[in-house]
Amino acid sequence: MSSTTVPNCDVADINLASQGKTRIEWAAREMPVLDLIMKRFSEERPLEGVRLVACCHVTTETANLARALKAGGADAVLIASNPLSTQDDVAAALVAEYGIPVYAKKGEDVDTYNRHVRIALDHRPQIIVDDGCDVVATLIKERQEQLAEVFGTTEETTTGIQRLRAMIKSGVIQFPVIGVNDAETKHFFDNRYGTGQSTLDGVVRATNILLAGKVVVVVGYGWCGKGVAMRARGMGANVVVTEIDPIKAVEAVMDGFRVMPIAQAAPIGDIFITVTGNRHVIDVQHFEKMKDGAMVCNSGHFDLELNLTGLAEISKDRRPLRRFVEEYELKSNGHRVIVLGEGRLVNLAAAEGHPASVMDMSFANQALSVEYLVKNKGKLSAGLHNLPKEVDVEIASLKLDAMGVKLDTLTPEMVEYINSWEHGT
């Protein structure tokens, strides 16, 4: 262990720190854009003394974001954004090797999760990096007296932004929020390629099943659903998509997938994966129709996409089969429905979340959003903002440089053409 002073924390086992550090360094190799930002931050210190709370999945990738924020001078505290997604060795390393206070334990109960949110708010954050909007929601519900201290917040997920829009509509947001998920270098890549790969990784690590030949039902065809469907097809699965949005449904059809209502998909699916951001999209009437041995899991932010309370009520028996695999036996027909990762994000519960290479761009957006909020303190209106488009382009350009990919540039003749209207037939 290094000589860093160990701050206050609530982690599972501080002795895991050295293993965590090696894994954090391994992830850093795939995060060149964030690394450039971290180097600049340590020279310029744009976040000097800013009290910051980050509520994120405590992974090797998040650890590198936390290091970058600290290098910029932030006085940062990290808590988990999901009770099952924490990597305990990473939490230990952040505390013992990097001197960053962490309150997160894999498998913590909901009371502990909420207690950690309140401890984080006791830090009196001026900036909040949120993932799912739990810290911001608690701040507004319980800490009105702290609102004036907040420069702004950032939000990582589609679900969190949906929640923020509802908050803005009810008039409770009094500070600027950067919707990191809305950046193109975030959702085009993280949601699609990150969720696509890591969700199947979670299913396979939990079960060791073969995907080839299976009917995989993807519930929701947003950016995450597109990624899951694409990668499941790549593994040889026969993919069915369910949707409520006509445009997304047409897109899924033209991408070559069968589209049908969940009621129709329920009896034919082998594996169901929810990625909608909505509640009970698979409900008891669907569980009742499933084949014996059908598997269900969720890769949306919250654990309410599957109605697991309802499933428990219609079941006569329930038993764990493997880590993150639980079998429910239905009263009506004796069929067994297998639930993965307790209905929580299967990619983070049973695997390690999105790989570092894609989180590099997401967290470059986060780090630059924090800097933007600090630089523009007091100047931005309350409500949702995007990072300027140039920042998105800069992140993409740095990523391409790191991958050794070169681009073409417009010739003067091309510039003249796209800026004129006179040329035609």
Which residues would be at the binding site for ligand ADE (CB under 6 A)? 56-57, 59, 61-62, 194, 348, 353-354, 359
- C-beta atoms surrounding 151 within 10 Å: 21
Q: Which is nearer to ligand ADE, 286 or 301 (CB)?
A: 301
To the nearest whole angstrom, how small is the minimum distance from the Cβ of residue 353 to ligand ADE? Answer: 3
The full length of the chain comes to 425
Q: Which is nearer to ligand ADE, 290 or 351 (CB)?
A: 351
Q: Which is nearer to ligand ADE, 56 or 396 (CB)?
A: 56
To the nearest whole angstrom, how small is the minimum distance from the Cβ of residue 87 to ligand ADE? Answer: 9
To the nearest whole angstrom, how small is the minimum distance from the Cβ of residue 316 to ligand ADE? Answer: 36
Q: What DSSP designation does 152 have?
A: E
> In this structure, are residues 107 and 76 in contact, taking their beta carbons and an 8 Å threshold?
no
Q: Which is nearer to ligand ADE, 82 or 307 (CB)?
A: 82
Q: What angle do CA 159, 346, 297 make, to 5 degrees?
A: 90
Please measure the distance between the N-terminal and C-terminal CA atoms of the chain and give it in whole angstroms: 71
- What pairing do the DSSP bridges indicate for beta strands 325-330 and 271-274? unpaired
To the nearest whole angstrom, how small is the minimum distance from the Cβ of residue 56 to ligand ADE? Answer: 5
Q: What residue is closest to ligand ADE based on CB?
A: 353
Q: Which is nearer to ligand ADE, 197 or 242 (CB)?
A: 197
> In this structure, are residues 296 and 340 in contact, taking their beta carbons and an 8 Å threshold?
yes
Q: Which is nearer to ligand ADE, 295 or 359 (CB)?
A: 359
Burial class (CB in 10 A: 0-12, 13-18, 19+), 172: middle
To the nearest whole angstrom, how small is the minimum distance from the Cβ of residue 194 to ligand ADE? Answer: 6
> In this structure, are residues 365 and 183 in contact, taking their beta carbons and an 8 Å threshold?
yes
Contacts of 26 (CB under 8 A, 6+ apart): 60
To the nearest whole angstrom, how small is the minimum distance from the Cβ of residue 277 to ligand ADE? Answer: 14
> In this structure, are residues 248 and 158 in contact, taking their beta carbons and an 8 Å threshold?
no
Q: What DSSP designation does 16 have?
A: G
CA distance 330 to 318: 9
Q: Which is nearer to ligand ADE, 29 or 389 (CB)?
A: 29
Q: Which is nearer to ligand ADE, 131 or 392 (CB)?
A: 131
151 vs 24, 173, 182, 337, 401, CA distance in Å?
29, 12, 20, 47, 33
Task: Estimate to the nearest angstrom the gap between the alpha carbon of 94 and the chain centroid.
Answer: 20
To the nearest whole angstrom, how small is the minimum distance from the Cβ of residue 70 to ligand ADE? Answer: 17
To the nearest whole angstrom, how small is the minimum distance from the Cβ of residue 413 to ligand ADE? Answer: 44
How much helix, strand and coil, in percent to the nearest 5, is found in the chain?
A: 45, 15, 35
> In this structure, are residues 331 and 315 in contact, taking their beta carbons and an 8 Å threshold?
yes
CA distance 114 to 117: 5
Structure tokens at 63: 């650890």
Q: Which is nearer to ligand ADE, 56 or 295 (CB)?
A: 56
Q: Which is nearer to ligand ADE, 156 or 288 (CB)?
A: 156
DSSP 158-174: HHHHHHHHHHHHTT---
